[in-house]
Amino acid sequence: MRLFAKWHIWLGWLVGVPILMWTITGLIMVWHPIEQVRGDHLRIEREQALLPAGNPVPIALPADGSVQFQEMRVAMQNGRPVWFATHPDGRVERFAADGTGVPLPAIDEDYVRALAAEQIVGGADPVAVEQFSAEKAPFDFRRPVPSWRVTLQDGAHIYIDAQTGEIAAVRSRFWRVFDFVWGLHIMDLQEREDTSHPVLILFAALGVLGSLLGCVLMFRRRKARVKT
């Protein structure tokens, strides 16, 4: 039991800081409902637009197979049906689904501003509108796709996919705080994605071992007091 007590003390010194960090970061992450963290309160609720009768109209592709798509889906956009065609390399193109099949123009700043004003609370008066390439995606977006970022007055970031013209992510200020403490929680501040790496597993295992030793010592000491 004395040996267990020594191990418990040394493990306490070793894993005390990580355990305190996990507790604090866990408290911060549950401070707000997850819907608020995701920015759902910034989205303007709208009725889902239905496709008109007779739509969508298929796109005529070359018979020689020179043009192929990995995936195709259709949705209403700006009051008209639109095909979203995904190439094997992940690139997405938009085509009119009203029978013409013409390629739709690229997403520009005017489109982005109009979309933010229509679908986001406070989106009608943004602080800034910026465009990013897939290779230089902002850290709080972390998706390898070209995008537009609309910055709101309260500091929230609205990301719009530059290929599809759809809202890809809403990053509130608290989301960025949540993201940082999540990185601390899993001990991965660079990518904030790896939840199973040697450092985290080692400290978690040491924390479990220290807790078990503490339980053993607690019951042993309680039994000793009863005997006396």
For the stretch 30-49, pLDDT in tens is 999 999 999 999 999 877 66
At residue 145, does pLDDT exceed 80?
A: yes
8 Å CB contact between 105 and 97: no
Report the pLDDT averaged over residues 220-224.
55
8 Å CB contact between 82 and 96: yes
More confident residue, 108 or 193: 108
pLDDT bin (cut points 50, 70, 90) of residue 220 is low
Distance CA 9, CA 30 (A): 30
At residue 136, does pLDDT exceed 80?
A: yes
Helix H or strand E segment including 167: strand 167-171
Burial of 226 (0-12, 13-18, 19+ CB in 10 A): exposed
pLDDT tens track for 47-72: 766 666 666 666 666 555 667 788 88
The two tokens of residue 178 are 């949540």
Strand partners, 83: 74, 95
The two tokens of residue 34 are 């997850």
Look at residue 49 in the predicted model and tell me its pLDDT: 64
Report the pLDDT averaged over residues 16-22.
87
Look at residue 57 in the predicted model and tell me its pLDDT: 65
8 Å CB contact between 189 and 195: no
Look at residue 169 in the predicted model and tell me its pLDDT: 95
The two tokens of residue 101 are 């099949």
Distance CA 162, CA 149 (A): 10
Look at residue 225 in the predicted model and tell me its pLDDT: 54
pLDDT tens track for 170-197: 999 999 999 999 999 999 988 888 898 8
Look at residue 43 in the predicted model and tell me its pLDDT: 92
8 Å CB contact between 152 and 166: no
Q: How far is CA 115 from CA 40, 108, 118, 125, 165, in A?
A: 16, 11, 5, 12, 8
At residue 122, does pLDDT exceed 80?
A: yes
**pTM, 2 dp:** 0.80
At residue 227, does pLDDT exceed 80?
A: no
pLDDT bin (cut points 50, 70, 90) of residue 156 is very high
Look at residue 4 in the predicted model and tell me its pLDDT: 63
More confident residue, 88 or 6: 88
Give 36-60 as a 3 state SS string: HHCCHHHECCCCCCCCCCCCCCCCC
Look at residue 63 in the predicted model and tell me its pLDDT: 54
